[in-house]
Amino acid sequence: MNRTILGRPLRSVAFDVAVAGSVALFAVAGIVAQPGGWLATLVGIGMAVALLFRRAYPSVVTAVVAVFALIQVAAGWGPLVYDVAVLIALYSVVKYADRLRDGIIAGVIAAVGVLLGSLQMAAAPWWAATIYLGLVTSAVWLVGLNVRTRRFYVLSLEERAATLEREREAEARAAVAEERTRIARELHDVVAHSMAVMIVQADGARFMFDQDPATAREAVRVVADTGRQALEEMRRLVGVLREPTPVEPFDRPAPADAGVAAEPEHRRPALVELPALLARFEVAGLRVRHTVRGSAAALPPGLELTVYRVVQEALTNTLKHAGVGAAVEVTLDHATAGLVTVEVVDDGRGHPVVTPAPSGGHGLVGMRERVTVYEGELTVGPRLAGGWRVAARLPVPSATPTTKESTT
């Protein structure tokens, strides 16, 4: 944790105090030997105090130091040791000023000061002193410019990274909203289908009530069961339309389309069409093995759709990232009562697709949203042996068992 004093980092404050203290020490140390005596010492201390604010007010501090330096020149004391404050102020205004124009003006004033100071140096010819002080001042100005350039470059990189992060979060929220709209539309179709079945069965029961009471009772039972299922799907539909939860990023996002023929937007596929889906991916270049374990239960239409979409998105992800020729194992497990597990595992040993799939898909986001609607668990990640694994565990509300065991 970075500590601060008066809103400024502690390290910066400590460094500035050390710099100002050093300048003040130079001023006090020369009180006896330097020209001007204690008056020159007061000028040096004034420069030192001004340097305490060089980061927050670089232009003002430079102006104050320049005034003190002008007093020193006017008094004829010549350059003194504490005049290092002039160089520090020059460096600070070039580095920290909001506009580089202030640094340029400070450089021009410093050049005039170098000329005036050189004329007051008795130890060397004025031209030699001018060259020496000019080189030192120019070097300090250029170092400040270089540091300023690097400072603004780093700030621009940080701003760009923050902007990209905000854009990524906005895209993720948009993807969730789009996927939830699609899920809501499909669940609406499921509910509408259930209501149509209820109406047909209720009409049949009304006409058969006197002629065949047993058939009428069976129709009423179907109406009740279908109504319960429709009510449950309606509850899930309302849940989908609630405020989206935060999206967890995945390391391997899948595209919306990886070269497999797209389905009509408003079409609601059923689990019975899963073999046809696998066949399309085989034509696209995957080596697919399909296994169904246990006694399959009659899943609600919405849950069937979720299983179908999970397999579809996982295979799309495999075709995009593992490539053509990758081996994929698709497993539907009904062995555990009240639970259906779908697992898609690839070996990651394919070849890049000839025509790259469009980027920017949100398949894994859709998987998570669909599984969450049915209170299931989704596990996505790489395998130690290579490849990728997608596994979804979905609770089954109610089921009528129908035995099927197949391996293709």
Q: Distance (Å, rounded) from C-alpha 232 to C-alpha 226?
A: 10
Q: Tell me the Ramachandran region of residue 343: left when phi exceeds 0, alpha when psi lies from -120 to 50, beta otherwise.
A: beta
Q: Distance (Å, rounded) from C-alpha 156 to C-alpha 290?
A: 52
Reported as a single tens digit per residue, the pLDDT across 183-193 is: 777 666 667 66
Reported as a single tens digit per residue, the pLDDT across 142-177 is: 999 999 999 889 888 988 988 888 888 888 777 777
| Domain residue ranges of the chain, discontinuous segments joined by + | 4-123, 252-408
Architecture of domain 252-408: 2-Layer Sandwich (3.30)
Phi, psi of 392 (to 5 degrees): -130, 130
Would the pTM count as exceeding 0.75? Answer: no
Q: Distance (Å, rounded) from C-alpha 58 to C-alpha 55?
A: 6
- Asked if residues 335 and 300 have their Cβ atoms less than 8 Å apart, the reply is no
Reported as a single tens digit per residue, the pLDDT across 304-340 is: 888 888 898 888 888 888 888 889 999 999 888 888 9
Higher pLDDT, 320 or 361: 320
1 pLDDT higher than 60: no
CA angle 49, 54, 56 (to 5 degrees): 120
406 band by pLDDT with thresholds 50, 70 and 90: very low
Helix (H, G, I), strand (E, B) or coil at 132: helix
What value does the CA radius of gyration of the chain take, rounded to a whole number of Å?
39
Reported as a single tens digit per residue, the pLDDT across 91-145 is: 999 998 888 898 899 999 988 888 888 887 766 677 788 888 889 999 999 999 9
78 band by pLDDT with thresholds 50, 70 and 90: confident
381 bridge partner residues: 389
Which H/E stretch holds residue 339?
A: strand 339-346
Work out the mean pLDDT of the chain and round it to a whole number.
79
- Tell the residue number behind the tokens 């270049």, with chain if given: 285
Mean pLDDT confidence for 205-209: 77
